[in-house]
Every structure is written in C-alpha cells, then in structure tokens.
Structure 1
Amino acid sequence: MNQILQQLINGLSIGSVYALMAVGYSLVYSIMNFSNFAHGGVIMLGAYFGFFFVTLYGMPFWVAFLGAGVCSMLVAVLVERVAYKPLRARNAPFLYFMISAMGASMFMENFVIATIGPTFRTYPQIFPSQPFNLGGIYVGRLDMVMFLISCTSLMALVYFIEFTKLGKAIQATAFNPRASALMGINTDFVIIVVFALGGFLAGIAGVLFGMKYTVYPQIGSITIKSFIAAVFGGLGSLTGAVIGSFILGILETLVSGYMMSQYRDLISFSLLILILVFKPMGLMGKSSEEKA
C-alpha cells in the first residue's frame, strides 16, 4: 500500500509541472484555435534563464525563479508579435500558424545550441536532499516545492480568469472573438495577455523541470507530454488540462514503478491516439469547427 501511495505522490509532483505547461496550450487554443508548438521553446528558455540567474548572477532562488518567469513571458509575447500577429492580420489559415509555431520552436532551440552550446547543465542543489518521512512514505523536498508552487500558480490563474475584468474579457474572446470586438473588447490586447500568462507559467515550469532533471536545448520536447495532457483533458479547457496532467503524471509513474520505464512514453502516446480516435474533444473539451 505504501508503495502505491509513494507512486501517487511522485505522479502528482510531475503532473503538477505538466499542468503548468498544459494550461499554456489551452489558453492559446481557447483564443486562437490552434496548438502553439512554440510553447516548448519558451519552456526550454525558462529553464536556462533560471539556471543562469542562479549560477552566473548568484541570485537567490525565488528571485531567479520569478525572473525566469518574467523573461519567458516576454519571449512568449515576442513570439506572438513576430510569428503570429502578421498571420492574424492577413486572416491566414490555421495551418500557417502551426508551421510558424514549429519554425519559432526550432529557431529557439538552435539559437541556444549556437550561442550557449548543447552541453547538459545541472542546477545546484537548492533544497536539502533529505526527504520527509510521512509514515513510511518519503516525499522529496523538491517534489513538495514543485507541487505547492504549481498548485498556487494554477489557483492564481483560475482566480484571474474567473474573478477579474480582464479574465472575463479573455473568456468572452474565447467564446466569440468577433462579438467581443464589437462589444468594445480589445482582442489584440487580450491575445497579448494570454501569451504572457502562458509564457510566465511555461518559464516557471521550465525552472522546476530543470531542477528536477537537467537543462539542455531539447528539454522543450517534454512539452509533448503536456500537449497529450491538454488533449486528454480537452483543448481549450483549463480544468481539463489540469486534470489530464495529473492523470498523465500518475499513469507515467505507475508504469515506471510497476512495469518498465521504457514503456512510459509508449503508454503516453498510445493514450493520445486512443483519445483522438474515440473522444477527440477530450474529457472536458469544447466543440470547434477547426482543430489543429
């Protein structure tokens, strides 16, 4: 029984980081109706920002953590202004947005390789390695920090979306952009805010994931897992993205613990295929005329 609880705790920890990544997908999809594959590049840069803030500039962890989130937020907004806004101005097909997103992601990855190098980098130990012992169940301090930070960030996001004027504008734009514009909502500004929110969460997720494992230019590929979680929960649904992320995180740890870690990705991608075949809207997804 303790082993099952141990795996569940580990799954909740990694699932909470997946959730930070997945909500960025869902936010952009809810507004622009396409999957922002440049999200992985922003996550990767967030991991590097946090690493260099801590090691090169000697910043305290919390300052470096928030600084990485702000820098990633600026990168995400820059990507939207450069890669997506011109396409929106021309009412380009959504396929063009996806191609532009993949191009932006490849640019960021290769820019890091050309300037910083492909070397793997490890965060210095920030939290004590001694885990908490809760009745025979061991909880790592970093895992607990990851879970608490992720949950706090997600609750703050939900509060912002549900109980602020700008959050209501985001909901209205997601429901009907044209009607929202006619009602006086600045939809262009709303899109900037959505990318800023997604970029900030991607940045802090990159820092947490980099601390848990390591930092390298291809770390953005982990965003595929968050995309699976977003599809599972339902693209466009923040609640669905969070639920899907926790389910995926728990599923992966159970597969690694009771089967073989090599099967983890196999199970994840098999889940994606099954969802797309049998329930393409996901658990809580909303119907849409075009999906990408």
Structure 2
Amino acid sequence: MSGFLQQVVNGLSIGSVYALMAVGYSLVYSIMNFSNFAHGGVIMIGAYIGYFCLTLLNVPFFVAFLLSAIGSGLLAVSMERVVYRPLRKRNAPFLYFIISAMGASIFLENIVIASPIGPTFRTYPAIFSTTPIMLGNIALGRIDLLMFVISTVSLAALIFIIEKTKIGLSIRATSYNIKGSTLMGVNVDMVIFIIFAMGGILAGLAGMLFGMKYTVYPQIGNITTKSFIAAVFGGLGSLQGAVIGSILLGLIETMVSGYFSSQYRDLIAFALLIFVLVAKPTGLMGKNTEDKA
C-alpha cells in the first residue's frame, strides 16, 4: 500500500507541473482556436532565466523564480505581437498560425544552441536539501513538494482570475464568441495580450520547476508534448480539463513506470492521446467547436 501511495505522490508532483504547461495551451486555444506549439520554447527560456539568475546573478531563489516568470511572460507577449498578430489582422487560416508557432519554437531552440549558451546540459545548484520529508513510509522530496505547492497556488490564482474578475469575464466572453464580445465593447487585442502574458508566466514557473527537478537544455521544451496530450485529454479550451488531464497523465505515467517499466511511459501517453482523439475528440471537459487544430 505504501508503494502505491508513493507513486500517487510522485504522480501528483509531475502532474501539477504538466498542468502549469497545459493551461497555457488551453488559454490560447480557448480564444484563438489553435494550439500554440511555441509554448515549449517559452518554457525553455524560463528554465534558462532561472538557472542564470541563480548561478550568475546569485539572487535569492524566489527572486529568480519571479524573474523567470516575468521574462517568460514578456517573451510570450512579444511572440504574440510579432508572430501571431499580423496573421490575426489578415484573418489568416488557422493552419498558418500552427506553422508560425512551429517556426517560432524551432527558432528559439536553435538561437539558444547557436548562442554562447550552447547545447550543454546544465544542472541547477542545490537550493534545497535532498533529504526527503518522511510521512510514515512515504518519502516527500522537497522539490516535489515545492512543485506541487507552487503549481496548486498558481493554478488556483488563475482560475480565480478567470471566474471571479472583470478581465476573466472578458476572457470567457471572448472565448465564447470573439465577434459578439467585440460588439459588446470588449477589447479583444487586450484580452489576447493578457492570455499570452498569463500563459507565459505559468510557462516560466513550469520551466524553472522542471529544470530544478531534472536538467536544463535547449530541447527541454519538448516536454510540452506531454502537456499538450494532457490538454487534449482534459479538453482543449477548458482550464479545469487541462488541470484534470495533467494530473491523470502524471498519475498514469508514474504508475506505469513504478509497476511495469519506464520504457512504456511515453508509449502509454501517446496511446492515450490516440484513444481520446478517436473515442472523444473534445476530451473530458472540452466543448465542440467548428475548427480544431
């Protein structure tokens, strides 16, 4: 029984970070109806910002955490203005957005490789003790606990903003009908600016947490493949669905790794994606839309 509970703890930890990544996909998809595959590049930059703040600037951990979130948020907003806004103004097909997102992701990855940073794997300095917190026979890693707490607080704050604030009402109205919300006086450009900023901030938090847990390298953004699967599983466009899908994916992965083999972890994840697309394309909590990408 203790072994099962240990896997649950591990699954909640990694699933919470998947959720931080997945809500970025869902936020953009809910408004613009396309999957922002450049999200992984933003996560990668966030991980590097945190790393260099700690190693070169020697700032306190929470300052580095804040700078990582701000830097990623600014990057996400800049990408929207440079890459996506011109396409929106020309009413370009959604396929163009996807191609542009893939190009932006490849650009970010390769510009880091070509820079003095290079392709080298980098490890975060030891910030917390590696001695786990023991609850009976269950070991709680300090970084795992930090990942879960920060992810939970961040996601709770995001859901509060979306559900209880005026800007959240504008976001929900725009996600329902862009033209209708524009006629009602909603500034759609500002709403899109805000969702990219929020998605970028969460991506920076996720990037730094994931980098602390493992290592930092230019291809670290590939982990967003898992968060995309989680977003599809929960239902693209649904924040609650993205969170639930992420937690379930994290639990499934850890259970497969713990009771079978880690070699089957990715196999199960992609098999799950195929099953959801075939059986229920809208996911657990997604809504039907005319276009999906």
Distance 2:80 2:132 in 1: 41
Partner of 2:70: 70
In the alignment, what sits opposite 2:243?
A: 242
Residue in 2 that maps onto 1:279: 280
Q: Which residue of 1 aligns with 2:127?
A: 126
Query: For 1:2-42, what per-residue CA distance to the aligned partner results, in whole angstroms no more than 9, with x for missing partners?
Result: 00000000000000000000000000000000000000000
Partner of 2:193: 192
**Which residue is equivalent to 2:114?**
114
Cα deviation, residue 258, structure 1: 0.7
Match of 1:177 in 2: 178
CA RMSD of aligned residues (A): 0.4
| Counterpart-to-counterpart distance in 2, 1:139 and 1:191 | 38
Residue identity matched to 1:226: S
- SS of match in other structure, 2:134: strand
Alignment of 1:60 with 2:60, yes or no, is yes
C-alpha distance in 2, partners of 1:86/1:97?
10
Aligned to 1:92, what secondary structure does the other structure show? coil
Cα offsets for 1:126-181 (capped at 9, x unmatched): 11111011011111011001000000000000111111111110000001010111
Q: Deviations over 1:228-253 (max 9, x none)?
A: 00000000000000000000000000
Counterparts of residues 136-215 of structure 1 (less than 5 Å): 136-215=137-216
Write the deviation string for residues 71-119 of structure 1: whole angstroms up to 9, x where unpaired. Answer: 0000000110011000000000000000000000000000100111000
> Aligned pair 1:100/2:86, yes or no?
no
Q: Distance in 1 between matches of 2:48 and 2:81?
A: 22
Q: Which residue of 2 aligns with 1:37?
A: 37
Secondary structure of the residue that 2:262 maps to in structure 1? Answer: coil
Extract structure 1 runs of 4+ deviating beyond 6 A: none
Counterpart-to-counterpart distance in 2, 1:149 and 1:231: 23
TM-score scaled by length of structure 1: 1.00
- 1:4: which partner in 2? 4
Q: Report the Cα distance in structure 2 between the residues aligned to 1:169 and 1:130, rounded to whole angstroms.
A: 46
Instruction: Report SS of the residue matched to 1:262.
Output: helix
3-state SS of 1:109 partner: helix
Q: Cα offset for 1:267?
A: 0.4
Q: Provide TM-score, normalisation by structure 2.
A: 0.99
Q: Deviations over 1:187-230 (max 9, x none)?
A: 00100000000000000000000000000000000000000000
Residue identity matched to 1:74: L
Structure 2 match to 1:89: 89
SS in 2 for 1:133: strand
Matched to 1:282, the amino acid is: G
Counterpart CA distance in 1 for 2:240 and 2:68 is 25
Question: Tell me, what secondary structure is at the counterpart of 1:138?
Answer: strand
For the residue of structure 2 that corresponds to 1:40, the secondary structure is helix
- Residue segments in structure 2 that go unaligned for 5+ positions in a row: none
Cα distance in 2, alignment partners of residues 68 and 137 from structure 1: 31
Tell me the distance in 2 between the aligned counterparts of 1:257 and 1:59: 37
> What letter is aligned with 1:175?
Y
Take 1:201 and 1:239, find their aligned partners in 2: how far apart are those partners? 15
Taking the aligned partners of 2:255 and 2:131, their CA distance within structure 1 comes to: 23
Which residue type is aligned with residue 64 of structure 1?
A: A
2:268 matched residue in structure 1: 267
Separation of aligned partners in 2, 1:248 and 1:140: 20
1:232 aligns with 2:233: yes
Residue 17 of structure 1: aligned partner: 17
Structure-1 separation of matches of 2:31 and 2:71: 23
Paired with 1:59 and 1:152, the residues of 2 have a C-alpha distance of 23
For residues 127 and 18 of structure 1, what CA distance do their matches in structure 2 show?
22
User: Unaligned 5+ residue runs, structure 1?
Assistant: none
Alpha-carbon separation, structure 1, partners of 2:38 and 2:182: 26
